[in-house]
């Protein structure tokens, strides 16, 4: 593991409110969404005028870029500051699950409450103690830690007949659908667990197979759970005689 570069805009030198905004822009953008003020307001649970004022302040501080279409991206300084915040949150999540024994839904909530109190030095020590894991408990990458390359596809798009390990749960699901985390945990659909998917043509839901166990997920939930195609396998192909047509 390596420490992230220090920045005058690290979380220790920005307000809690600014940190929340930078973290939110980072998360939303990393899910492939266009970050607009209305989406940011929805994510943070504040009014659009409140977002507008704070975003302008962040732009003036050189942390955010506002495009002509009003979409938002992190400036270079904003990326550095947000990465420090996200790293801290995800390492604390990992510590809470691996060492304290919290489930992954509770760990996300608790990390949101306490991670700001952890210094960068303490985060580095915890990360080393944990063996430098590359992701948080939900499979989202910890900034500054290099993990194995992954080829991710969500469950709604997993090909028929393929079995692959769950590798990631969307940050959007963590934030906006904590009940999904609880459901996945209850159903044994955790990181590293191999699953297959049945999706009838035109269906608005999929059936996730974990061995003989079946779990129904709506398409929205299925799109929030990702598997790693680099570790996928086709059991039928493996069982097929090489001489068969």
Residues 55 and 108 in one domain: yes
Domain termination site, one of 111, 143, 175 = 143
Rounded mean pLDDT of 173-201? 89
- What local confidence, expressed as pLDDT, does residue 235 receive? 85
Of 231, 235, 23, 242, residue with least CA distance to 116: 23
State CA 99 to chain mean position distance. 20
The pTM assigned to this predicted structure is 0.85
Mind listing the pLDDT tens digit for each residue in 38-81?
999 999 999 999 999 999 999 999 999 999 999 999 999 999 99
The average confidence (pLDDT) of the chain is: 90
Q: Which has the closest alpha carbon to 72: 107, 110, 25, 30? A: 25
pLDDT reported for residue 105? 84
Q: How far apart are CA 51 and CA 38, in angstroms?
A: 8
Considering the domain architecture, whether residues 105 and 166 belong to the same structural domain is answered as no
Q: Are 35 and 25 in contact (CB under 8 A)?
A: yes
Model pLDDT, residue 33? 93
Q: Are residues 138 and 204 part of one domain?
A: no
Question: Could you say which of 118, 143, 168 is where a domain stops?
Answer: 143
CA distance 185 to 179: 10
- State the virtual CA torsion across 72, 152, 179, 207 in degrees, nearest 10: 140
Per the structure, the complete domain to which residue 200 belongs is given by 152-236
Residue 241 lies in a domain: no
Q: How confident is the model at residue 6 (pLDDT cuts 50, 70, 90)?
A: very low
Q: Which two tokens mark 176?
A: 């906006």
- State whether 122 and 63 are in the same domain: yes
Quick one: pLDDT at residue 8?
41
Would residue 5 count as lying in a domain?
Answer: yes
Number of domains in the chain: 2
131: left (phi over 0), alpha (psi -120 to 50) or beta: left
- The CATH number given to whatever domain includes residue 9 is 1.10.10.10
Residue 113 shares a structural domain with residue 207 = no
Assigned domain for 27 exists: yes
pLDDT tens per residue, range 161-184: 999 999 999 988 878 787 898 899
Residue 243 lies in a domain: no
Task: Give the tokens for residue 132.
Answer: 């430098």
Residue 228 pLDDT: 97
* Separation CA 54–CA 27 (nearest Å): 18
Whether residue 207 sits in one domain with residue 133: no
Question: Average pLDDT for residues 216-226, to the nearest whole number?
Answer: 94
Q: What angle do CA 57, 84, 225 make, to 5 degrees?
A: 100
Which residue, among 3, 144, 5, has the nearest Cα to 80 in the 3D structure? 5
245 found inside a domain: no
């Amino acid at each position: 593991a390596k420490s992230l570069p220090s920045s005058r805009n690290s979380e220790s030198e920005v307000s809690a409110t600014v940190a929340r905004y930078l973290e939110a822009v980072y998360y939303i953008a990393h899910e492939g969404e266009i970050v607009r003020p209305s989406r940011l307001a929805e994510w943070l649970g504040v009014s659009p005028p409140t977002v507008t004022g704070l975003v302008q302040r962040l732009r003036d501080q050189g942390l955010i870029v506002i495009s002509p279409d009003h979409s938002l991206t992190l400036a270079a300084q904003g990326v550095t500051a947000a990465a420090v915040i996200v790293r801290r949150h995800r390492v604390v999540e990992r510590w809470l699950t691996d060492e304290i024994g919290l489930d992954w839904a509770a760990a996300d909530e608790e990390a949101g409450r306490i991670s700001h109190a952890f210094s960068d030095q303490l985060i580095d020590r915890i990360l080393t103690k944990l063996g430098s894991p590359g992701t948080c408990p939900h499979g989202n990458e910890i900034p500054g830690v290099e993990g194995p390359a992954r080829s991710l596809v969500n469950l709604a798009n997993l090909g028929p007949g393929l079995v692959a390990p769950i590798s990631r749960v969307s940050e959007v699901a963590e934030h906006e659908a904590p009940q999904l985390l609880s459901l996945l945990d209850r159903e044994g659909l955790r990181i590293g667990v191999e699953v297959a998917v049945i999706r009838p043509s035109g269906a608005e839901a999929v059936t996730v197979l974990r061995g003989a166990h079946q779990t129904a997920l709506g398409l929205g939930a299925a799109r929030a759970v990702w598997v790693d195609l680099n570790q996928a396998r086709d059991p039928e192909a493996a069982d097929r005689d090489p001489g068969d047509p």
